[in-house]
Structure 1
Amino acid sequence: MSVAMLPASAISEAPKPAQDSAPQESAPHESAPPSLIGLSREALAERLGAIGVPEKQRRMRAAQLWNWMYVRGVDDFGAMSNVAKGLREELAGRFALGRPEIVSEQVSQDGTRKWLLRLADGREVETVYIPEDDRGTLCISSQVGCTLTCSFCHTGTQRLVRNLEAGEIVAQIMLARDRLGDWPGAEGPEDKTGIPDGPRKITNVVLMGMGEPLYNFDNVRDAMAIVSDGEGISLSKRRITLSTSGVVPEIPRWGEEAGTMLAISLHAVRDDLRNELVPINKKWPIADLLEACRNYPGLSNAKRITFEYVMLDGVNDSVADAKELVRLLKKIPAKINLIPFNPWPGSPYECSDWDQIEKFAEVVNRAGYASPVRTPRGRDIMAACGQLKSASVKLRASQRAVAAASNA
């Protein structure tokens, strides 16, 4: 991951190891009107045809809807003033433009914002906004829960429920833009703590929230095509980063079909340790992962891969580990993000002390790699890297504990 959390997952073609298996459930309730968010222009035109829009008008009408949804951010068909009134009414009766329901919104002392969002089927995900002076990064989820069991990651303690649809992924960004006033002419929240003054409040998107995005490849790819569309939300692919724990067969495919920036949750330099920290390593070990990185389409000094490395006291933070990390990444255009471990209830690890992190960073820097130590953000609201877990799961766990105590 690279600015707010760590991934997890469900895949299109590559078989999953036993520990990755989890039941997949359907997306929205059948009773909910289908959303137009997340559809391609071609799919929008097909929906318009299904409600009787003449073929000659469909492309034009789809372009109008696209502009209203992704450029202006409207969530009401009635506001689409250049669409015929009859068509607006027909659309309103058949389809939806709504965002996920906000269950809770928390604002950290440092300005980080975390939203717990309820989807149409009642499932929940978390989305985090991290403001800085010159940018605003939105960390979005790709799955409900997580199929991986990374031992240092809170999200990994929550089972995978299902993949998010493309529209549910895009809608996280649209909701955040609603809340931050990031649409043209929008006011934004009364409390603007930490929000940058520039014309775009969300300048970067990272797929580093709940879920392993490469295990939901098609939906994530389709969502990012909308996010990067120059006539829509219009974020450059260089400002979109997908973080993976190492789904090796899908890495080159992602580069070919999506072409965003790539981040790798590495966290160890030996297979025996990475097997423990990131169990997907048992299926695709470090050598295979790094070979896929070397062959990532478009890789260059201008398009480097970010390697994420969580600093765990006495586990992976020695100077010898730093030297081995440098050796492993030789000839890979890379940046190395050193992430102080963010604790969560019951976590088995502690964060490396600052002196040791500096020693580690010095070795990496001397080798010529940029190795920023990521300042923990949103720790006070459990929004920092590796801390995400939907509040409903946490609540159910606490309820079970209370019930067990009362029955003891």
Structure 2
Amino acid sequence: MKLLVDIKSLNDEELENFITDSGFPKFRAKQIRSWLSKNVTNFDEMRNIPTDLREFLKTSSYISVANIEKKLVSRYDKTVKYLFSFNDGECVEAVVMSYKHGWSMCISTQVGCKMGCTFCATGKSGFSRSLTPSEMLAQIEAAQRDLDIRISNVVLMGMGEPLDNFDNVIKFIRLASADDGLNIGMRHITLSTCGIVPKIYELAKLRLGITLSVSLHAPNDEIRQKTMPIARKYSIEELLQSCRDYFDTTGRRVTFEYSMISGVNDSDENARELANRLSGMNCHVNLIPVNTVEGTGYIKSNIKRQQSFIDILAEKNITATVRRTLGSDINASCGQLKRNHILKGGK
């Protein structure tokens, strides 16, 4: 069986080579790129492409499309949660959020996740495969087409660990930020990781200008290892050193995500230990009341605990905020919609 080319995952040079190696003029590659940037879903929509080239494309390649399997819209704040399916039937989640500065979208980078963080619903559904660059792009394109909006900010914080799909994620970022792509500036792209230390160093060397968001969720190795298996491989100090390097190399401030779990990591002592660890770093702490996920037994910290945490960090000149909760009525955190889909017999 002939393996079809994932045409939307090709960069400009690869697309040009694919077209010229197949015997077609070089300028046709730019025409095809132009149509792809208009979110066409099949080759017949490329009206200025000659018939012979369109027929060739149909038999040699395909256009990735994210099909909307389910769509939930919040009654409170315009947040929209999608369950998308791809060519092979695999499904992922994505969330579109409305802010004063525009529309932001949280997309998935893998079908499921290998990392096994105990507070996350995604890992409970297992891991199937990584997404291609085109499948990441397709999530954004599908939402823009469905809502008739332009996504201005992208967060790679949905299902999966982006740094476990490093090459495809980097290619996605370059394609999404290209002038003839989605034209989303790299400074408007955030990559969230649970902390694969060698890949953070590798990411820093690329100097892409994206924001790095690190899921820390604990002030020490003991607590972190109980909630995040990745912490058994890389110590918290190794992780923080890679974050310091990221700032020194790129000049981009690192954000630390900290899910506050009542009685686990939210005490004043935890806050003081975290403050001491982060002292002197150019960073921001994003406190997240933990999501309720069936089977974990975790309870989110109350408002008083959250404020006390913020105050203690502020004493060490570490800025911290509590993440605004969006889409609370539709369980907008990733993993839960897919999990329900699986339980009902889907992939």
Q: Do Structure 1 and Structure 2 share a fold, with TM-score over 0.5?
A: yes
Mapped pair 1:117 → 2:67: no
Shift, 1:369, TM fit: 2.6
| 1:150/1:277 contact within 8 Å kept | yes
Greater RCO (CA < 8 Å, at least 6 residues apart) = 1
Larger mean CA deviation between 365-374 and 225-234 belongs to: 365-374
Shift, 1:388, TM fit: 5.8
Larger mean CA deviation between 126-135 and 379-388 belongs to: 379-388
| Residue identity in the other structure for 1:39 | L
| 1:140/1:169 contact within 8 Å kept | yes
Shift, 1:243, TM fit: 0.5
In 2, distance between residues paired with 1:106 and 1:34?
33
In 2, distance between residues paired with 1:358 and 1:387?
28
Shift, 1:81, TM fit: 3.9
| 2:159/2:334 contact within 8 Å kept | no
Aligned to 2:154: 205
Aligned to 2:228: 278
| 1:342/1:384 contact within 8 Å kept | yes
Mapped pair 1:46 → 2:12: no
Shift, 1:298, TM fit: 5.4
Mapped pair 1:239 → 2:188: yes
| 2:64/2:134 contact within 8 Å kept | no
- Give the structure with the higher percent strand: 2
The CA deviation string for residues 319-373 of structure 1, in whole angstroms up to 9 with x for no partner, is 1211211111122211110001111222310011111111111222333233121
Stretches of structure 1 that go unaligned for 5 or more consecutive residues are: 1-29, 183-200, 398-408
In 1, distance between residues paired with 2:169 and 2:74?
28
| 1:343/1:349 contact within 8 Å kept | yes
Aligned to 1:312: 261
Aligned to 1:152: 119
In 2, distance between residues paired with 1:203 and 1:325?
33
Mapped pair 1:290 → 2:257: no
SS in 2 for 1:256: helix
The CA deviation string for residues 149-183 of structure 1, in whole angstroms up to 9 with x for no partner, is 1111111212111111122122112212211223x
| 1:37/1:171 contact within 8 Å kept | no
TM-score if structure 1 supplies the norm length?
0.79
Aligned to 1:23: none
| Residue identity in the other structure for 1:170 | L
Identity of aligned residues (%): 38
Shift, 1:90, TM fit: 3.3
Written as runs of structure 1 = structure 2, the 5 A alignment for 1:377-396 is 377-384=326-333, 387=336, 389-396=338-345
In 1, distance between residues paired with 2:254 and 2:244?
9
Aligned to 1:15: none
For the aligned residue pairs, the C-alpha RMSD in angstroms reads 2.2
- Give the structure with the higher percent helix: 2
| 1:228/1:236 contact within 8 Å kept | yes
Aligned to 1:326: 275
Tell me: CA distance 1:178–1:35, structure 2 relative to 1, closer, same or farther (3 Å).
farther
In 2, distance between residues paired with 1:127 and 1:298?
32
Equivalent pairs counted in the alignment come to 344
